């Protein structure tokens, strides 16, 4: 970091260890106090509400000790970021070491830097449709992009991570988040009005505006605040010197192979009843295209990481063969192995992050906090803007401990709809307020699975390893956190006061 006099704090590995110890001790104390909560949860999208009582699971017990001793391996192997990172890194190493990614990023130098940063942030927000794909691919790509602009790569990592994490609720089109949330929104609204229907595009206008505004403001914060704070680029990257003509031919070859690869992917997401290959990634039992694409039986989202890895592998291969940086198959193996070696510290972090997430999940603390806030919301007598602010703050706070959007909404939705609809607030707008608050704190909570991926890459691109601390990592993201929170809240209040449509024929009030 630029300020060498800044206080040092502990290594992120120790951060996860200390936090795990705190969670274990807290679970024992709360269990001794018999802390539990009873709440109504929407158990199915058919509209069934079930009253559930849940208590804290103590780790200061024999069962807790058994879990700690026997689950370390499964905690790691079932931790989503691990497999995704390995798969993408194999192809990413080839694309990087062959010189393809650096040559591609250097071509952006002809574009104004603010525009490049804005577009990168916007792409990150759009790629939040799939967490695995966004974090494991776009974060290291952002670091390389910033190095090519002679910017500090830590700025690219912070911008990319906060765009994906805290811009999760925004976008330019309908995603799986809309598909999942609207199902519970409609089912909850039907508790008061059996004929109420919620469309999946009910938040479309708002999220498009949010994506553009967040990207623009975050680009400004990056250029005018963060990059000045963290200083110039001091990360030394391996130099790959290529003849201009060979580099040009290599990029053309990569473009051609990309187009050839993308064509069958497009065919696999086109609805078709007769051909088995066409529409292969869709759930053909559904009638609406968004449901075909994002239902639990669709193959589109689960295959994104693999598809991205294949494309990047072929791009690096085509570029390397054309330019001569790849002369034999063995070179690609070395490229992948070298890159995995460079990012090896991330896997140490992942082990301890996986244990923390498993321990915290097992305690039920996240569900209990969310359920308690939901019950408080159900009993509030506020209306209009105060009611909207309460939902935003409760969503924001609960996401610190329970990061799954659908899991939280299944708890919040029944109580939220009862209060909001009685206050003349449209269910679609209530859903929008929730997804905004739910997005904001993704970038700062250590219980968010992909937080460790950000930390890991910060460690890779921190030149002086003694500066790699949890304090300095948070210093990178806190400016974005504050700005994004203000943007989401500002937009929500403006939309409500002015009465702008949040989607086609959908307004903040009923």
C-alpha pair distances (Å), 11 with each of 14, 22, 325, 358, 446: 5, 17, 37, 21, 14
DSSP states of 418-449: HHHHHTTB-HHHHHHHHHHHHHHGGGT-TTST
pLDDT value for 465 = 85
Q: Round to whole Å and give the CA distance between 281 and 262.
A: 14
CB 360 within 8 A of CB 22: no
Give residues with Cβ within 8 angstroms of 301, minimum separation 6. 129, 130, 176, 294
Residue closest to 247 by CA, chosen among 319, 343, 340: 319
364: left (phi over 0), alpha (psi -120 to 50) or beta: left
| Vertex 366 angle, CA 360 and 371, to 5° | 155
Per the DSSP assignment, residues forming a β-bridge with 41 are 50
With CA atoms as reference, report the closest residue to 365 among 342, 398, 406: 398
CA dist 169 and 500 (Å) reads 18
What pLDDT score was predicted for residue 45? 60
pTM of the model: 0.93
Predicted confidence at residue 8, as pLDDT, reads 61
User: What is the model's pLDDT at position 44?
Assistant: 66
Q: In Å, what is the CA distance from 69 to each residue of 75, 107, 117, 160, 360? A: 11, 52, 46, 36, 15
Q: Residue 380: how many CB atoms within 10 A of its CB?
A: 15
216-251 confidence digits (pLDDT tens): 999 999 999 999 999 887 776 766 777 889 999 999
pLDDT at position 320? 96
DSSP-H helix ranges across 324-343: 329-342
Per-residue model confidence (pLDDT) at position 451: 97
* Neighbour count for residue 310 (Cβ, 10 Å): 15
Calpha distance 8→145 (Å, rounded): 28
- Give the number of other Cβ atoms within 10 Å of residue 19's Cβ: 18
Question: Can you give the pLDDT at residue 5?
Answer: 46
Q: CB–CB of 129/171 below 8 Å?
A: yes
* pLDDT less than 70: residues of the chain: 1-8, 44-46, 130-132, 236, 238-239, 275
pLDDT tens, 394-427? 999 999 999 989 999 999 999 999 899 999 999 9
Asked whether the beta carbons of 164 and 138 are under 8 A apart, the reply is yes
For residue 509, list its beta bridge partners: 425
d(CA 252, CA 258): 10
The Cβ of residue 506 has, within 10 Å, a number of other Cβ atoms equal to 20
């Amino acid at each position: 970091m630029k300020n060498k006099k800044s206080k040092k704090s502990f290594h992120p590995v120790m951060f996860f260890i200390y936090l795990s110890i705190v969670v274990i001790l807290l679970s024992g104390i709360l269990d001794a106090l018999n802390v539990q909560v009873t709440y109504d949860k929407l158990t199915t999208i058919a509209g069934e509400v079930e009253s559930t009582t849940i208590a804290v699971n103590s780790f200061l017990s024999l069962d807790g000790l058994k879990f700690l001793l026997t689950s370390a391996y499964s905690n790691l192997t079932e931790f989503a970021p691990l497999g995704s990172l390995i798969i993408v890194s194999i192809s990413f190493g080839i694309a990087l070491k062959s010189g393809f990614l650096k040559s591609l990023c250097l071509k952006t130098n002809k574009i104004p830097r603010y525009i490049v940063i804005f577009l990168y942030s916007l792409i990150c927000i759009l790629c939040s449709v799939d967490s695995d794909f966004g974090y494991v691919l776009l974060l290291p790509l952002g670091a390389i992009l910033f190095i090519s602009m002679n910017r500090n790569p830590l700025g690219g990592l912070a911008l990319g991570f906060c765009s994906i994490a805290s811009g999760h609720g925004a976008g330019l089109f309908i995603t799986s988040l809309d598909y999942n949330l609207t199902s519970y929104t409609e089912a909850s609204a039907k508790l008061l009005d059996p004929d109420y229907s919620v469309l999946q595009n009910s938040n479309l206008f708002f999220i498009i505006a949010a994506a553009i505004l967040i990207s623009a403001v975050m680009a400004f914060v990056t250029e005018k605040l963060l990059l000045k704070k963290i200083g110039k680029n001091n990360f030394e990257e391996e130099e790959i010197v290529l003849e201009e003509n060979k580099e040009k031919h290599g990029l053309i070859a990569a473009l051609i192979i990309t187009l050839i690869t993308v064509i069958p992917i497009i065919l696999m997401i086109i609805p078709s009843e007769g051909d088995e290959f066409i529409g292969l990634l869709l759930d053909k039992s559904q009638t609406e295209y968004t449901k075909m694409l994002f239902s639990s039986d669709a193959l589109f989202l689960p295959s994104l990481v693999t598809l991205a890895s294949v494309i990047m592998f072929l791009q690096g291969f085509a570029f390397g063969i054309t330019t001569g940086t790849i002369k034999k198959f063995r070179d690609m193996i070395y490229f992948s192995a070298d890159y995995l070696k460079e990012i090896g510290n991330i896997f140490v972090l992942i082990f301890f992050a996986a244990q923390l997430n498993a321990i915290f999940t097992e305690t039920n603390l996240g569900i209990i906090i969310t359920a308690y806030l939901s019950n408080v919301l159900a009993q509030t007598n506020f209306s209009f803007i105060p009611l909207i602010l309460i939902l935003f703050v409760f969503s924001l706070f609960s996401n610190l401990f329970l990061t799954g959007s659908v899991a939280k909404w299944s708890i919040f939705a029944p109580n939220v709809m009862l209060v909001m609809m009685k206050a003349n607030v449209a269910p679609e707008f209530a859903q929008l307020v929730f997804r905004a608050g739910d997005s904001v704190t993704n970038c700062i909570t250590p219980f968010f699975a992909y937080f460790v991926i950000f930390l890991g890459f910060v460690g890779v691109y921190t030149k002086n390893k003694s500066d790699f601390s949890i304090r300095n990592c948070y210093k990178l993201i806190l400016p974005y956190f504050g700005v994004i929170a203000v943007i989401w809240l500002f937009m929500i209040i403006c939309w409500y006061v002015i009465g702008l449509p949040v989607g086609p024929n959908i307004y903040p009030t009923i």
